[in-house]
């Protein structure tokens, strides 16, 4: 039997079989789930496709895809003379040592917190600010290193144990006991101590605005004071936590706490007091930070974390657990994520987690995916702080202009790290009504998911995979094309490993190829790289939205190298 072209049938069959064997067949593999985010726990050769070697200025979405971060648009440029930015009492607050400073923006109030004894000292840093019983409690540091706690309880309607600085009243008997303080009917940033008792006059006096200055008011002498907390048992240290209507602060090997609902009282027996935290430490006994863990108090040491059950009744404040061999030296780093607390240790980020099996606290490796990149940055001079960005569900820990971002969604099962870089130092960050505001100098920025550059600078988005062997390790592949599914324009290059003519391993990177939008409906983007494994590197930097939903590779498997 012969075929139509005259060849014997058996020869034709053999030729067809040979062609089928030798003609390479195209294979396809796609990657569309990037749930691990930035993850350096494994080597570049063994990590999975969902664990990225680099993830900069992008984050994992609820759908486990990758999206360019929100960008910082200029919200306002405020008047000079203040520092800080904190959210409380429905607004934003900056701080100054100059009583004449005011901000025209109604959202931002300049709060006056001068040095209580030396007007020449200038405000250098605000470590803490939170609302307590309707007023601001502020921890301020000055240029000489002095730290003071201020309670800005100006203008309350009447003198009560909770509010010790009511508004002045005419023809009223005042005494030096308590001691007694008032504020002007129109607050001016100062409060006034009754240093000579008597009955006030019928007309409000002209209040002095120099600390220590006095004024006569009928039979009363008023002396100008700041709003600093004067109780001798207030420790005036940097780290403070508000839990169960009490304030807790570090003080060497103890943690003093205020009376319930009274920020100015750190002394009253059976209400205020201190925790002898150092007695429970084997090594370092100095408390370095306090924070909140669920509804309890967390006390941080260099090598341990103590958990205390908080309660308005001092007799019920008891040590409930100790997490050994992990701690922090960074008092502003602890931050809340759902029912957990994340903080920066000497080895990287860690968290306190409750073991469901044993009902015991243990340190968690929540930050282990980025230990490799964070640990080299840790030093005793570092002063990182943490802020929650509610809209995307992110915990930010700020290292000057670098932000280590933990994106968390319990319902979407997202818990992934990424690295953000800003073109300016993020000196302060404050979350108000779900929006995140940043401060650098006098410029206030607001993070905006509809803005695609930081002021005028688009962020550089980098997404780099570990080495991918397409589930065929040790086999040579010829990658011939790629499809990109997403939004925006980027470039893709490939890092590859091979051997030279002498059998020595080498690593290189291909020239970048442009990817635009969704190429799936059309023709694939041609590329040409031959290797046993590749590490795709996607780069985007433009004033536009960018998202990566899927990468599809077309390749020929050439067999063992």
What is the three-state SS of 5-68? Answer: CCCEHHHHHHHHHHHHHHCCCEEEEEECCCCCEECCCCCCCCCCCCEEEEEECEEECCCCCEEE
In DSSP notation, 317-334 reads -EEEEEEET---S-TT--
Least Cα distance to 489 among 510, 511, 521, 512 occurs for 512
pLDDT band with cut points at 50, 70 and 90 for residue 358: very low
β-pairing verdict for 385-389 and 394-399: antiparallel
DSSP H stretches of helix in 287-429:
371-374
pLDDT band with cut points at 50, 70 and 90 for residue 20: very low
Which residues in 312-390 belong to E strands, given as ranges?
318-324, 335-337, 340-345, 348-354, 361-364, 385-389
Strand, coil or helix: 458: coil
Q: What's the mean pLDDT in 454-471?
A: 95
Contact (Cβ atoms closer than 8 angstroms) between residue 493 and residue 537:
yes
Is 8's pLDDT higher than 60? no
Query: Distance between CA atoms of 533 and 508, rounded to whole angstroms?
Result: 12
Give pLDDT tens digits for 483-497. Answer: 999 999 999 999 987
What φ, ψ does residue 213 adopt, rounded to 5°? -70, 150
Query: Distance between CA atoms of 323 and 325, rounded to whole angstroms?
Result: 7
Query: Distance between CA atoms of 104 and 308, rounded to whole angstroms?
Result: 43
Give pLDDT tens digits for 310-331. Answer: 999 999 999 999 988 889 989 9
pLDDT band with cut points at 50, 70 and 90 for residue 18: very low
Higher pLDDT pick, 144 / 368: 144
Give pLDDT tens digits for 52-79. Answer: 999 999 999 999 999 999 999 999 999 9
Give pLDDT tens digits for 495-536. Answer: 987 777 787 877 889 999 999 988 888 788 999 898 889 999
Least Cα distance to 92 among 433, 370, 515 occurs for 433
In DSSP notation, 234-292 reads ----S-EEEETTEEEE-BTTBEEEPBTTBTT-S--TTTSEEE-GGGG-SS-----EEEE
Give percent of the chain with pLDDT exceeding 90: 70
In DSSP notation, 150-197 reads EEE-TTBSS--SS---BBP-TT-EE-SSS--EEB-SS--S-EEEEEE-
Question: Which is it for the CA torsion 63, 64, 68, 73, positive or negative?
Answer: positive
Residue with tokens 């390790």: 473
Q: For the chain, what is the mean pLDDT? A: 89
Q: Specify the pLDDT at position 537.
A: 97
Burial of 268 per CB tally in 10 Å (0-12, 13-18, 19+) = middle
| Structural domain spans, the chain | 24-68+462-560, 71-151+231-456, 167-223
Is 24's pLDDT higher than 60? no
pLDDT band with cut points at 50, 70 and 90 for residue 3: very low
* Least-confidence region, from 19-23, 152-156, 372-376: 19-23
pLDDT band with cut points at 50, 70 and 90 for residue 159: very low
Is 388's pLDDT higher than 50? yes
CATH number for region 71-151+231-456: 2.130.10.10
Is 19's pLDDT higher than 50? no
Q: Specify the pLDDT at position 364.
A: 56
pLDDT band with cut points at 50, 70 and 90 for residue 13: very low
Fold of 24-68+462-560: Jelly Rolls (2.60.120)
Give pLDDT tens digits for 103-125. Answer: 999 999 999 999 999 989 999 99
């Amino acid at each position: 039997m012969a075929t139509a072209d005259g060849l014997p049938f058996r020869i034709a069959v053999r030729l067809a079989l040979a062609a089928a064997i030798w003609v390479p067949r195209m294979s396809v593999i796609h990657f569309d789930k990037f749930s691990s985010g930035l993850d350096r726990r494994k080597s570049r050769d063994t990590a999975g496709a969902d664990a990225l070697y680099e993830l900069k200025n992008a984050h994992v979405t609820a759908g486990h895809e990758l999206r360019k971060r929100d960008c910082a648009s200029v919200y306002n440029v405020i008047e000079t003379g203040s520092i800080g930015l904190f959210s409380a009492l429905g607004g934003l607050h900056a701080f100054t040592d100059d009583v004449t400073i005011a901000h025209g923006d109604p959202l931002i109030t300049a709060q006056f917190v001068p040095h209580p004894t030396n007007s020449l000292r200038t405000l250098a840093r605000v470590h803490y600010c939170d609302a307590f019983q309707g007023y601001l409690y502020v921890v301020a540091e000055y240029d000489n290193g002095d730290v003071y706690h201020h309670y800005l309880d100006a203008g309350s309607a009447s003198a009560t144990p909770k509010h010790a600085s009511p508004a002045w009243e005419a023809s009223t008997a005042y005494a030096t006991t308590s001691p007694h303080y008032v504020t002007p009917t129109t607050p001016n940033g100062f409060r006034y101590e009754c240093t000579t008792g008597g009955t006030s006059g019928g007309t409000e006096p002209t209040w002095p605005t120099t600390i220590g200055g006095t004024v006569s008011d009928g039979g009363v002498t008023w002396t100008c004071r700041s709003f600093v907390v004067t109780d001798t048992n207030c420790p005036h240290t940097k780290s403070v936590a508000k839990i169960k209507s009490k304030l807790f602060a570090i003080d060497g090997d103890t943690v003093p706490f205020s009376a319930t609902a009274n920020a100015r009282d750190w002394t009253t027996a059976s209400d205020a007091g201190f925790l002898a935290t150092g007695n429970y430490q084997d090594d370092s006994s100095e408390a370095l930070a306090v924070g909140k863990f669920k509804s309890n108090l967390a006390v941080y040491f260099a090598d341990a974390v103590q958990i205390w059950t908080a309660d308005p009744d001092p007799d019920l404040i008891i040590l409930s657990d100790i997490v050994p061999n992990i701690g922090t030296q960074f008092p502003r780093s602890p931050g809340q994520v759902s029912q957990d607390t994340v903080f920066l240790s000497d080895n990287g980020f860690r968290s306190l987690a409750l073991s469901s099996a044993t009902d015991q606290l243990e340190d968690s490796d929540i930050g282990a995916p980025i230990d490799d990149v964070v640990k080299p940055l840790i030093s005793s001079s570092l002063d990182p702080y943490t802020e929650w960005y509610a809209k995307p569900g992110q915990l930010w820990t700020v290292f000057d202009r670098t932000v280590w971002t933990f994106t968390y969604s319990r319902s979407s099962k997202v818990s992934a790290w990424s690295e953000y870089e800003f073109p300016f130092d993020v000196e302060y960050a404050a979350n108000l009504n779900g929006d995140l505001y940043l401060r650098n100098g006098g410029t206030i920025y607001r993070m905006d998911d509809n803005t695609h550059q930081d002021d005028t600078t688009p962020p550089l988005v980098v997404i780099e995979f570990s080495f991918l062997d397409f589930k065929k390790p040790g086999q040579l592949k010829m990658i011939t094309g790629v499809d990109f599914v997403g939004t925006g324009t980027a470039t893709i290059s490939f890092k590859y490993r091979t051997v030279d003519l002498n059998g020595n391993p080498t690593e290189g990177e291909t020239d970048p190829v442009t990817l635009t939008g969704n190429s799936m409906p059309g023709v694939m983007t041609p590329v040409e790289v031959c290797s046993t494994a590749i590490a795709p590197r996607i780069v985007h930097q433009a004033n536009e939205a960018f998202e990566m939903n899927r990468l599809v590779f077309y390749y020929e498997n050439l067999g063992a190298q």
